[in-house]
Structure 1
């Protein structure tokens, strides 16, 4: 419980800090316009806001080096900004995402996959579902888990399952395809796996929600490009825009997932064996799902919640160029590898991230050009010193992020031996 609270607090602080830091850096470039506007709004909402508190929180130019002071004065970058609005942004964001996560995490993910309570007029199907619920209850008693799961169903022929929600009241979601494909013992193995996965489930669910929202921005960009006139026959522009946005958000989403949760399934497979005591049936379930070639529209940031990770395309061909889809940043524990692992044949799992990260870095460079172009247009003059300073800060932050990214992926990689 305490560990989960620490993880969630860290995640919410990370998100809130990123938002407030971004507005702060933008405020510096815009010479304090953002903080002034927010202060005016705050004084309208809270007329009795103590002035002395606001005036105490200032980020002033305290640079003692003459060269640095001259650079800032020549570039016109403000070093005298009120910090109160940015502190207010941090606190407001932290409170908002905390409430939002507690109230809507489970609902939004269940709605995303159209999961619902089982309904059928077929008596055999009703009895079969009641058997599944009994299996789940017996497994909970056997494992002495303090959970009360509810079983939901997705009306699709693709065999898969996932678990989401709060740790003590999880929602285990099965597809109709999975129920039809597997026998009772194989379903018991799958349910055991999902029950073991309820450990730290709320953290996993919240991480999936926020990372999933980031990934969804690429789809939003795709549809916006179609609505704004792109998307004629054989027009690659919408897909290019989608992949460009994906290149910006995918590393951030993958970083959050890898930092906060362990996305690999191998340890959960082993723990579930202690519960259902039938290695062969788990292997059979994995093989049957693999042979069915599951094609299910899963948000890549939600893969760590699912029982079966489908094979995802690593590259797409656009204008005779192979462009990465960034799926390798999220894909882990393929079904084939899990079967080999349970048979004792898998020694290691390698994740190829170099090419996707290279393309992401190039995309972020384009964003830097866009920032400098916007700044030049806004000031109606190109200032080489100012552009150099903005580029230096931007590239320092970018290199720092990707350095931390590689460190996290290095230390949180899959270790089987």
Structure 2
């Protein structure tokens, strides 16, 4: 199965005519949920301010044969995405604003309603329907460490490598590095056109034509980055503590919460004759939903105050447990660990080719392994009988942003992911 998320970005390139210009890139992909599809993206770095990044894309697909309420039909993947990040608000020195919006229609969206550790991969609910989200972020860089003189996080890059930071990365927390606190708003709605299994449940909203899961709320976070280069670290560490809360406001299906913690560490290794940089990247992530009530159901099979399948303690997909389907596992608690060996090779067939719309600075080969588990309690069982996968990835620094093509295999199959950014870096 080939899956893709339509997120891209572009950085300023001071060495070429592609500096601070709009870039337009066509693309094509295929997945079980979308069928064969394609679109076009436009991207720009330093829009209005040096540290900002703007991305927008429109996409559509070929018609697919689907079944809606036991009747054959056709459906077509379509939608769009827009993102604008790190805009420093007027009359402030450290307060940054970002937003992201996604509107889509999927012919065959996949939901693992019972995503427990012992669930079977064939226990999946497939339906056509809309999947839309909108988020905003207000981030305040604290006036400590590197945040005193560089709250924007701007670096000087040459050939896709950060220069002038040879002594940075891995020192004393909060004394060095950049620390931010902030708040995010989120809203997401998913609806399904196959209605049979929902008609006698709370999912069936009075006066609507389709069952809908709406969720909205706030996230509160603290992030500390103590690496030499946050986009592609070679040494140092990062961590984030985040609490998400749906208060049950408005048309939210039900209230829920989730507390999570992530820690990444990077070790710079000796290079070979054919490599420019070798790094061992390690990641640990864990989370717990205090609100999830295992003893109460809002509808048959749905526990009360649980996060949606795409939120909370979930594993599987393009960031965590890449050898499994997107959001394959979900429960009250989760634990995840990963290791990547990243080697930037001393060979770049696309270097200095003028007709490519975005500069490619380097290619990277990555070997990775992952382990994780979800559970209905936060106990030692989280690290027993874990799920595993392993894979290989080809990555490139495209307009000073890592783009990756991951191939991962597990006991449930082989999955391919085309994504922007490393899977667990900030």
TM-score higher than 0.5: no
- Of the two, which has the highest radius of gyration? 1
Instruction: Please give the TM-score of this superposition, normalised by the length of structure 2.
Output: 0.22
| Structure with greater helix share of residues | 1
| Structure with greater strand share of residues | 2
Which structure has more relative contact order (CA 8 Å, sep 6+)? It is 1
